[in-house]
Chains A and B, each alone.
Chain A
Amino acid sequence: MTLIMHSSLLLIFFILVYPLLTTLNPNQQDSNMAGMTKTAVSSAFFVSLLPLMIFLNLKTEGIITNWQWMNTQAFDVNISFKFDHYSLIFVPIALYVTWSILEFALWYMHSDPNIDRFFKYLLTFLVAMIILVTANNMFQLFIGWEGVGIMSFLLIGWWHGRADANTAALQAVIYNRVGDIGLIMTMAWLAMNLNSWEIQQIFALSKNFDMTIPLMGLALAATGKSAQFGLHPWLPVAMEGPTPVSALLHSSTMVVAGIFLLIRLHPRMENNQLALTTCLCLGALTSLFTATCALTQNDIKKIVAFSTSSQLGLMMVTIGLNQPQLAFLHICTHAFFKAMLFLCSGSIIHSLNDEQDIRKMGGLFNIMPATSTYFTIGSLALTGTPFLAGFFSKDAIIEALNTSYLNAWALTLTLIATSFTAVYSFRLVYFVIMGTPRFLPLSPINENNPLVINTIKRLAWGSIIAGLIITQNFPPMKTPIMTMSITLKMAALMVTIAGLLVAMELANLTSKQVKITPMISTHHFSNMLGFYPMIIHRLIPKLKLTLGQSAATQLDKTWLETVGPKGLALTQMAMAKITNDITRGMIKTYLTIFLLTLILATIPVLL
């Protein structure tokens, strides 16, 4: 059984890498790279179901150590893959979502001349993500980590003629780099103190160490990669990339890499209260802040991006609650409905001739019934409607939050963020699907392409039943608290319904002629993203440039030049100039002095 499992898992790698190898062939004529990629990913998905079934049946987990890469006397770096509970569930889900997105991209990027390169980039990203997820040591994880970062840069800046896209790609890379500082610091600490980067050895050896430094490093890494508050601005601007990129990278797979890292190394975090509290508070703050920003945005992709950021905050809160399995469950269910929301948005955008502003959409329910149905299903799953996918993870998280003995501030923030989720989801559905049309009459609206509809239908099935399937088959590792008062149990649902009612009332008010502008100060705070990007993107470069200027003028110019040689030269020149100017043009004086000197010189000779 283990042989079947390990060979099928390695087969997945080879199936995915094969299309990349065919692109190395210099004679590329009529290669159907795009179609081949999609077929490769779908076959990899079906192959990956086999180890999943074996795991379900027999609970087999595996670690394959293939190759001793860089081994010195004291330190080993191997290539080893870990196929445990987390990676065995995540790989099929990632492959399923990627399969759907690639099929969608065949339609969306159809008119792009470089579609083959696009698929190559997406496939490279997928391979890097799987390396990250199945890594058994920190070095391999780091390879995958950097790989997804670079592919994110290349894919966000896909339309590199557009200045905003290049800025967005740079922002993504720079913010991720700041997070990487934390990861590298953790790796250095582990190498120095535990002398190993293998996950098993880290768990075994670190019982007596104070793990605060590496855990803070990991928290910083997750802040960068998973767009927590402080390093979050790159995620909404990453929507400059094409919609398949946003669907794959910035909703389902790449941004959960940070959370996945924390889940992998969670046994080390269990005992460190500081790390747990940091994750909890950071996650709660992120969740509320980004949900607030999503309330007044007008670009459909930005609203979904902020909702992703809010859900990532919720996952961070779950890590802080000491429930890595629930965080993982939320990662899996979130992948389905978030990718579906992005693909529905992509279908709508393409149909309305690249119109992304929800102020110019509306009434799509009768014109695009399938897309709007799936959009509604996705939004319902996002808000945690009972018994859809999001419910199983979100409700469990809020219950765990309510029944644990901790920070009431984090609890309040998370509940408010949950109600805001309902508000902006309803706002989105109201402006995009309900009402009367506000777009141009001659828009090429169609959803008769099976590439689009079948993919979104597949993800819709996932959004509905994935939560049920995963929770029924994988019992929880930590005992959830089953007894709580009715208020606590229904808290998530009540808060969501309250948000929904408020949103319906506000939407009703929008269509009446009450007044033009809402309350200006709160609207501006939310719309300008709390002014955070505006301040940080100007303050930090300004500080650096001021530091540079003071270093250049005070240190270099003053202390090294003027005090020494140049100052001396300047004073000498000044004195010489004054002396010169005083005695200019006085010919008579010069001749008189000359004669006097001559007389004075000749008198002793005569005498």
Chain B
Amino acid sequence: MAAAYLTHHQKVLRLYKKSLRHIESWCIFRDKYRFYACLLRARFDENKHEKDMMKATMMLKAGEEEFWANQHPQPYLFPDSPGGTSYERYECYKVPEWCLDHWHPSEKAMYPDYFAKREQWKKLRMRTRPVINLNILE
């Protein structure tokens, strides 16, 4: 759901996932990682039936503080994810889509299906663009 606030459930899951990723950054070998990941899962599971929200929130806060203290300074990031080594690498080769309008007809004829669909898309865009009312004085 897309609201302004995170639910408790979402916060707990986010803490779990980032803890797992940081354990993966620390424990390089997979068997060692699996061992500590299972320990972490057990720690989360033993408190999952907690009904008292205040206690649950306090536990979450303690968990976040423990995460902050034990995080890895250079967590493993996938190359294409933000902060990774090849993120935004090919932005300089990306051309804006209006350049397609300037192709020569012989070049456009090489991709007939795409350009036909493109005309329909452009008509749809013209029909559904937001109308800005400039008569604000009325």
Contact = CB atoms under 8 A, between A and B. Distances in A.
B74 A298 contact: yes
A438 B32 contact: no
A161 B85 contact: no
Given A159-B92, A161-B90, A356 B70 contact: no
A76 interface: no
Contacts of A524: 73
Nearest to A301: B85
A104 B82 CA distance: 28
B71 to A, nearest CB: 9
B25 to A, nearest CB: 7
Nearest to B40: A516
A160 interface: yes
B91 A162 contact: yes
State the main secondary structure of chain B at its contact with A: loop
Contacts of A163: 88
B35 interface: yes
B5 interface: no
Contacts of B36: 513, 516
Interface string B81-93: 0000111111111
A468 to B, nearest CB: 37
Contact of B25 (A161, A354, A359): A359
A356 B76 CA distance: 10
A357 interface: yes
B32 A513 contact: yes
A61 to B, nearest CB: 45
B79 A353 contact: yes
A421 B67 CA distance: 32
A270 interface: no
B70 A516 contact: yes
Contacts of B90: 159, 161
A511 interface: yes
B29 A511 contact: yes
B74 A513 contact: no
Contacts of A527: 73-74
A355 interface: yes
A438 B85 CA distance: 18
A72 B122 CA distance: 68
A163 B87 CA distance: 9
B30 to A, nearest CB: 7
A266 to B, nearest CB: 39
B93 A113 contact: yes
A161 B35 contact: no
A357 B28 CA distance: 11
Interface in A355-387: 355-357, 359-360
Nearest to B79: A354
B85 A356 contact: yes
Contacts of B51: none
B16 interface: no
Contacts of A160: 92
Interface string B79-107: 11000011111111110000000000000
Contacts of B12: none
Interface in B45-95: 70, 73-74, 76-77, 79-80, 85-94
B70 to A, nearest CB: 6
Interface in B86-132: 86-94
A113 B74 CA distance: 32
A524 B76 CA distance: 15
A243 B36 CA distance: 35
A354 B77 CA distance: 12
B76 A161 contact: no
A438 B30 contact: yes
Contact of A516 (B26, B76, B88): B26
Chain B CB within 10 A, most for which of A160, A355, A436, A516 = A516
B28 A438 contact: yes
A84 interface: no
A229 interface: no
Interface in A411-462: 431, 435-436, 438
A511 B91 contact: no
A355 B90 CA distance: 16
A511 B77 CA distance: 21
A191 B62 CA distance: 66
A147 B75 CA distance: 37
A146 interface: no
B86 to A, nearest CB: 5
A18 to B, nearest CB: 29
A485 interface: no
B94 to A, nearest CB: 7
Contacts of B28: 359, 431, 438, 510
B108 to A, nearest CB: 21
A584 interface: no
Given A511-B29, A516-B70, A360 B89 contact: no
A517 interface: yes
Given A354-B85, A356-B85, A516 B27 contact: yes
Interface in A76-130: 113
A299 interface: yes
Interface string B1-44: 00000000000000000000001111111101001100000000
A528 interface: yes
A588 interface: no
A355 B78 CA distance: 8
B32 A511 contact: yes
Nearest to B89: A159
Interface string A283-306: 000000000000001110000000
B73 A161 contact: no
B91 to A, nearest CB: 3
A438 B24 CA distance: 11
11 contacts: A113-B93, A161-B90, A161-B92, A162-B89, A162-B91, A353-B79, A360-B76, A438-B30, A510-B29, A512-B32, A524-B73
Q: Give the top 9 A-B pairs by smallest Cβ distance, nearest first.
A: A161-B91, A161-B92, A162-B88, A354-B86, A527-B73, A159-B89, A354-B79, A356-B85, A511-B29
